């Protein structure tokens, strides 16, 4: 008689099912108890600088499967992307399949036949971290299984698959309270016991910057980005937004961001079809804003120009500065803007952005343009101190703040400078 039908095997199988059931009940009960106690808190210290990684949505939408994800992981390593700091590989919407009779979620069996644990093991073997998407509602934005009512169970599944990062969406949530829904998932993740970066994605509708510091590590501030410099793409009931539209969307929220709790203006569109100058401007502004740097291009087919933007370590260092101050627009003269960010050691990043359709010439006298930031209590004081200037895209030194800066800034492009105190 085959072993499967022997009494011992049946008993073993029964025991295994009982074990899983009691484990689930135990963790769920423990989770409920924890959620009411002071222990229910986010995992601290997982995002002391803005998270960096890659996400499938901007380029591939619903078209995700395990073969493509494995290829992306390999390309992230081979291209040098991982070593430039991009650690999280996040599968966005559409990985989800059905729930089983106990309510546990499983991946789409056609697209992910080997299962999420095997995929996670592979991603980890590449020195990367594994991220996934879900939704606070019954359904995700693409109509797959959402987590509503299954939060503790889903958190257990994520922990067992080795998930390191959860992006948690906000579709199909009519009547739900955002603070409650996101706090429930935070508590569920905590109860499951695996440290997971928690990325809130409710588009800024409920002002998460005011309440999410203790709930998650980053929160979306706006609707979805799209791959254009300044357009709006109308989808009927909602719109997606070009880079400059996103930049204009939320004002006065920089004081809410800092280490372990970031404003997230959405993922990067670098390499997805904008002009090189526009990609540079987009990337520079995201670094100035201390935004999470989650690339969204096809890493397997990345051209040299895209790699030069995404992997520019001097620019990435602005984003990853350990003080974690979000930069801001210092001035706007017609369509020539000056963006600044205070950095460690009294250094600054200064970015001249040309939003117009024509090239603009720049004549910037540091002694006549005092740059002072009340929030960080810092000031560029060229009378008292000298700063060395370095053009981070041109990779050349440009003298000091002693002399006015004269330069040409191309249309839809930036001149990005690092100011190092001497």
Q: Which residues are known catalytic residues? A: 169, 224
Work out how close the CB of 218 gets to ligand GLA at its nearest, in angstroms, rounded to a whole number.
13
On whether the CB atoms of residues 160 and 126 are closer than 8 A, the answer is no
Query: Is residue 224 within the footprint of ligand GLA (CB under 6 A)?
Result: yes
Count of residues that bind ligand GLA according to CB under 6 A: 10
To ligand GLA, the closest distance from the beta carbon of 280 in angstroms equals 23
Q: Where are the alpha helices (DSSP H) in 89-138?
A: 116-125
Q: Compare residues 167 and 378 and give the one whose CB is closer to ligand GLA.
A: 167
Q: Which residues of 87-126 are buried (b: 16+ CB within 10 A; e: fewer)?
A: bbbbbbbbbbeeeeeeebbebbeebbeeebeebbebbeeb
Choose between 167 and 254: whose C-beta lies nearer to ligand GLA: 167
- CB 90 to ligand GLA: min, Å: 9
The two three-digit tokens of residue 51, written as one number:
């998270």
Kindly tell me which of 58 and 347 has the beta carbon lying closer to ligand GLA.
58
Query: Is the separation of the CB atoms in 66 and 72 below 8 Å?
Result: no
72 versus 419: smaller Cβ distance to ligand GLA: 72
Residues between 135 and 154 that touch ligand GLA (CB under 6 A): 140-142
Site for ligand GLA in 309-348 (CB under 6 A): none
Question: Taking CB under 6 A as the criterion, which residues in 165-184 touch ligand GLA?
Answer: 169
DSSP label at 414? E
Within 88-117, the residues that bind ligand GLA by CB under 6 A are: 92-93
User: Taking a C-beta distance cutoff of 8 angstroms, is the pair 135, 145 a contact?
Assistant: no
57 in contact with ligand GLA (CB under 6 A): yes
3-state secondary structure (DSSP) of residue 322: coil
Please select the residue that binds ligand GLA; options are 133, 148, 190, 254, rule is CB under 6 A: 133
What residue number has its CB nearest to ligand GLA? 141
In 43-176, the DSSP E strands lie at 52-55, 88-91, 96-99, 105-107, 129-135, 165-169
DSSP string, 339-387: EEEE-GGG-EEEEEEE-SSS-EEEEE-GGGS-EEETTTTEEE-TTT--E
Nearer to ligand GLA, 106 or 139 (CB): 139
Beta bridge partners of 198: 166
Residues interacting with ligand GLA, by CB under 6 A? 57, 92-93, 133, 140-142, 169, 201, 224
């Amino acid at each position: 008689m085959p072993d499967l039908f022997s009494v011992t095997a049946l008993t073993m199988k029964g025991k295994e099912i009982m074990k899983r059931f009691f484990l689930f009940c135990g963790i769920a009960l423990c989770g409920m108890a924890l959620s009411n106690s002071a222990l229910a808190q986010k995992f601290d210290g997982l995002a002391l600088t803005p998270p960096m990684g890659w996400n499938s949505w901007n380029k591939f939408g619903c078209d995700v499967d395990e073969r493509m994800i494995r290829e992306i992981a390999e390309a992230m390593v081979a291209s040098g992307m991982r070593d430039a700091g991009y650690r999280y590989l996040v599968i966005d919407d559409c990985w989800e399949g059905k729930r089983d009779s106990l309510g546990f979620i499983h991946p789409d069996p056609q697209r992910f036949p080997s299962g999420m644990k095997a995929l996670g093991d592979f991603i980890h073997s590449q020195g990367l971290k594994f991220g996934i998407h879900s939704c606070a509602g019954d359904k995700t934005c693409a109509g797959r299984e959402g987590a509503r009512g299954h939060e503790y169970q889903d958190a257990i599944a994520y922990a067992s698959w080795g998930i390191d990062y959860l992006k948690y969406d906000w579709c199909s949530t009519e009547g739900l309270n955002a603070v409650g829904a996101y706090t429930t998932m935070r508590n569920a993740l905590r109860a499951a016991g695996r440290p997971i970066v928690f990325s809130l994605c409710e588009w800024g509708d409920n002002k998460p910057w005011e309440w999410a510091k203790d709930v998650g590590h980053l929160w979306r501030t706006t609707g979805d980005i799209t791959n254009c410099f300044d357009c709006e793409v109308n989808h009927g009931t909602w719109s997606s937004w070009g880079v400059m539209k996103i930049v204009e969307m939320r004002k006065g929220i920089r004081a809410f961001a800092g280490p372990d709790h970031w404003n997230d203006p959405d993922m990067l569109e670098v390499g997805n079809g904008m002009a090189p100058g526009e990609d540079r401007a987009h990337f520079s502004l995201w670094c100035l804003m201390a935004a999470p740097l989650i690339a969204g291009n096809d890493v397997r087919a990345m051209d040299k120009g895209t790699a030069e933007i995404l992997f520019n370590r001097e620019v990435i260092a602005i984003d990853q500065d350990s003080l974690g101050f979000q930069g801001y627009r210092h001035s706007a003269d017609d369509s020539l803007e000056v963006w600044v960010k205070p950095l460690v050691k009294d250094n600054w990043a200064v970015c001249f952005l040309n939003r117009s359709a024509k090239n603009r010439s720049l004549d910037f006298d540091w002694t006549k343009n005092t740059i002072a930031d009340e929030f960080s209590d810092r000031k560029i004081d060229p009378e008292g101190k000298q700063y060395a200037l370095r053009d981070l895209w041109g990779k050349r030194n440009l003298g000091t703040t002693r002399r006015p800066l004269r330069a040409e800034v191309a249309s839809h492009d930036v001149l990005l400078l690092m100011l190092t105190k001497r």
